[in-house]
Structure 1
Amino acid sequence: MIGFLGEYEATLDSKGRFLLPGGLKKQLPEGENRLIISRGIEKCLTLYPIKTWESIVEKLIKLNDFDAKVRQFKQRFLGGATEVEIDSAGRMLLPPSLKEHAGLTKDIVLACDLDKIKIWDANEYKEFFDKLSPEDFSKLAQDVMVGDGISLS
């Protein structure tokens, strides 16, 4: 897998379900209909394929629970993490507490992030990009990519 790519719009129904867009469904591993959903670092939700989640859990287990920052991070990151399933109609149900946490209303955006998929309220997603000017993005790219010795060209 080269990673999840693209942005997809979807609409939540009154029960908190949405139809997983076909272009995104094609990118899931063959036969994969179970994912883990949790709070995102930003004001969004994050969907993880099971294998990606298992790799994260392996790292989290190794952290020192006697460190208060570790406990705080794990509680925030793992709190509400839930296994969700794509039903036979291709829909996914969002847990109400997570939906509320991300401020999801009716229109959502599923934004791919290589090994995971972020679920944003459509307005929040637009604001996220509106806040960063092209100049600020250029500086951010310089700091992140060049600082790590990576070139995009």
Structure 2
Amino acid sequence: MTRFLGEYEVTLDAKGRFLLPSGFKKQLPENELRFVVNRGFEKCLTLYPIQNWEPLHAKISELNDFDPKVRAFRRQFLGGATEVEADTAGRLLLPPTLRDFAGLTKDVILVAAVDKIEIWDSATYKKFFEDFSPDAFSDLAKEVMVKNEGKNE
């Protein structure tokens, strides 16, 4: 499984394409430039390397289709999910419906999110941090890390 680190500013061209930064390319398996892009949980997109997407998709496929919450989750999570592959110039094309969902303009920030990359409109991403105080972050970190302590061992 590929894991990412880093944060990069990129520019969308008129067709909705961006160049995958070399910092992320170096973290991918050699010659693997196939991804699935879908809606994120917040107002962003998520870009999964195909090798990280496949086990997640398999897990979602095993959920009980008779449960209305499962169907609602699948619609939200899988709706718009699209396989994308870098072109010969190394650019990835984001579908217009997904760009609209995330409110992406020309300036975009790509953010490592463990096994995926989040794609944010630059202004939206910066506002997220402006609205989050250091004390609030400290409280959140304590709550999340204490609650999950020992689960990854």
Q: Secondary structure at the match of 1:36?
A: strand
The question of 1:12 aligning with 2:12 is answered yes
Q: Which residue identity does 2:20 align to in structure 1? A: L
Counterpart-to-counterpart distance in 2, 1:106 and 1:117: 18
Which residue does 1:115 correspond to in 2?
A: 115
Q: Paired residues, what number?
A: 150
Q: Which moved more, 1:52-61 or 1:115-124?
A: 52-61
The 5-angstrom pairing of residues 69-84 of structure 1 reads: 69-84=69-84
The 5-angstrom pairing of residues 118-129 of structure 1 reads: 118-129=118-129
Which residue does 2:21 correspond to in 1?
A: 21
Counterpart-to-counterpart distance in 1, 2:32 and 2:45: 19
**1:114, CA displacement in angstroms?**
1.3
Give the ranges of 4+ consecutive aligned residues of structure 1 lying more than 2 Å apart after TM superposition. Answer: none
Q: Which residue identity does 2:85 align to in structure 1? A: E
**1:70, CA displacement in angstroms?**
0.9
**1:2, CA displacement in angstroms?**
6.8
Counterpart-to-counterpart distance in 2, 1:28 and 1:62: 27
Q: Secondary structure at the match of 1:63?
A: coil
Which residue does 1:104 correspond to in 2?
A: 104
Q: Which residue identity does 2:66 align to in structure 1? A: F
Q: Secondary structure at the match of 2:97?
A: helix
**For each residue in 1:71-93, what CA deviation from the matched residue of structure 2 results, as whole angstroms up to 9, or x when unmatched?**
11100100000000111111111
Counterpart-to-counterpart distance in 2, 1:2 and 1:16: 25
Counterpart-to-counterpart distance in 1, 2:78 and 2:60: 10
| TM-score, length basis structure 1 | 0.94
**1:23, CA displacement in angstroms?**
1.1
Which residue does 1:88 correspond to in 2?
A: 88
8 A Cα contact 2:8 2:21, kept in partner: yes
**For each residue in 1:8-49, what CA deviation from the matched residue of structure 2 results, as whole angstroms up to 9, or x when unmatched?**
000011111111111111111111011000000110000001
Q: Which residue identity does 2:30 align to in structure 1? A: E
Stretches of structure 1 lacking an aligned partner (at least 5 in a row)? none
8 A Cα contact 2:2 2:52, kept in partner: no
The question of 1:61 aligning with 2:61 is answered yes
Counterpart-to-counterpart distance in 2, 1:51 and 1:2: 8
Counterpart-to-counterpart distance in 1, 2:71 and 2:125: 29
